[in-house]
Each structure stands twice: as structure tokens, then as C-alpha cells.
Structure 1
Amino acid sequence: MPKPIRMGRRTWVAAWAVLCVAGLAATAGLKSASAPDPPPERPVSAECREFIARVKTQLDKAEQDGGDGILAFSRGQVSTVDCTDELRNLFRGER
């Protein structure tokens, strides 16, 4: 029977380190490849654009007046169009 090749501790540690680095690189590659695409932007309706423009006008006017109170916005009529996302973007600073 042939004698098995003896490997020193340094060789085992080096082999283990190479395998760990290869595993980490593969994991990073898989994570970056599977990143979800951002959702496409949906168009803003004309009614929402109009409403957002009025809100911006009122905010700018209140800012010029130096008001530090609370602004209240109301819609005159009930609408079937929901502008919630656009309003959130406006108040988050994504003008």
C-alpha cells in the first residue's frame, strides 16, 4: 500500500483560508446578482399634479410668511384618485 501524502498544519490552514475566501466571494456574487429591480415609476395623474402644485404653493406661502404653525389641507370634493404616494414624496423632500 502506498503511503498517503502528509500535509503540514500550514498547508491545511492555507487550504481552509482559500476555501473560506472562495465561499465569501461566491456568496457576495450571488447576493449582488439577485438584487431586485426597482419598481417602474407610475405616471402621476393630472389631478394629483394639480393638487400637489396647490400644496406646494401653500407651503411656499406659509414659509415666506414665517409661519411656524400647522398647515391643514383639505380637498373640496371626494376624488377617486389617490395621491397619497405623491404627497409622501413631497413631504419627504423628493420635490
Structure 2
Amino acid sequence: MPEPLRMNRRTWGVAWAVLCAAAVAATAALNASPAPDPRPEKPVSAECAEYIANVETQLAEAKEEGNEDGVLAFTRTRVGADDCSDEILDHFSGDR
């Protein structure tokens, strides 16, 4: 069986320094690159827009009643209704 290669401390130090320099250069390049373009707004169905407006109304009513730190739960009771979960997350998440 061949004997493993032995590297002295100087070789390890040089290899470590090269990796660190590469990491610093990559970080600087990533920090200098422009931010990606924001995602375009996806159209929201009329049913989802109505549901979001209803949620905003209920949140405003709860805030007026002093329940702003409580938990509000919303459910869909109609069968076959649009799944608006992605639209609701996009609307209420702000800047993600």
C-alpha cells in the first residue's frame, strides 16, 4: 500500500492562506454585485382579492377593539374555493 503524502506546516499554511484569500475575494465580489430585480407582482384572482380585503377588515376591527396582540384565525368553509394561501402570504409578509 502506498504511503500517504506528508505535507509540512509551510504547505498547510500556504494552502490555508490561499483558501482565505479566495473566500475574501468571493465575498467582496458578491457584496459588490447589484441586488436582484424584485419579483413582478402576480395577478390575484377576484375571489382572493375579496378574501384579502375581508381579512384586512377583520384585522382593522380587531385592532379597534384592542385585540391587536391576540391571535386571529381564518378558515375557508366553501368547498372548491380558490387556494389563496400564497397570495395572502405575499400580501401580508411585506418585504421578504
Normalising by structure 1, report the TM-score. 0.53
How far is 1:40 from its partner?
A: 3.2
1:63 paired residue number: 63
Gaps of 5+ in 1: 1-23
- What whole-Å deviation, never above 9, does each CA across 1:8-49 have from its counterpart, x for those lacking one? xxxxxxxxxxxxxxxx7xx95xx848x765443221100000
Given residue 91 of structure 1, which amino acid in structure 2 is its aligned partner?
A: F
How far the C-alpha of 1:88 sits from its partner, in A, is 1.1
CA root-mean-square deviation: 3.0
Q: Which amino acid aligns with 1:88?
A: L
Deviation at 1:52, TM superposition (A): 0.2
What one-letter code is carried by the residue in structure 2 that aligns with 1:92? S
- Match in the other structure for 1:78: 79
- 1:85 shift after superposition: 2.0
Q: Distance in 2 between matches of 1:88 and 1:39?
A: 14
Displacement after TM superposition at 1:90 (Å):
3.2
Identify unmatched segments of 5+ residues in structure 2.
1-24
Distance 2:81 2:36 in 1: 31
Instruction: Give the greater-gyration-radius structure (CA).
Output: 1
